[in-house]
Amino acid sequence: MENKLIYIALVLLTSLVNINCAKQRIQSCKATTPDVLGPYYFPNPPRRRQICDRDPAYHDQRHLLVEGRVMDESCQPLSGARIEVWQADHEGHYLFRDNCRGYFFSENGGHYAFLSLHPGTYSTDPEGGLFRPAHIHFRVLKPGYDILVTQMYFAGDPNLGRNDSCTACSSDRSDLIVEPREMCPDKTGKFCFSIAHFDIVLKRGGDVLVVPDIDDSAMELMDIAETGK
Position 211, amino acid: V
Nearest to 76 by CA among 31, 107, 104, 110: 110
How many structural domains compose the chain? 1
Instruction: Encode pLDDT of 161-185 as tens digits.
Output: 999 999 999 999 999 999 999 888 7
Range with the poorest average pLDDT among 12-16, 114-118, 143-147: 12-16
Q: Given this model, what pLDDT does residue 1 score?
A: 42
pLDDT averaged over every residue in the chain: 81
CATH of the domain at 14: 2.60.130.10
- Answer for the pair 87, 100: CB distance below 8 angstroms, yes or no: yes
Indicate the pLDDT class of residue 217, thresholds 50, 70 and 90. very low
Q: Cα–Cα distance between 84 and 82 in angstroms, integer? A: 7
Q: Which domain holds residue 71?
A: 2-227
Q: Given this model, what pLDDT does residue 229 score?
A: 42
Alpha-helical segments (H) within the chain = 2-20, 22-25, 217-227
- Answer for the pair 93, 226: CB distance below 8 angstroms, yes or no: yes
Instruction: Encode pLDDT of 75-95 as tens digits.
Output: 999 999 999 999 998 888 887
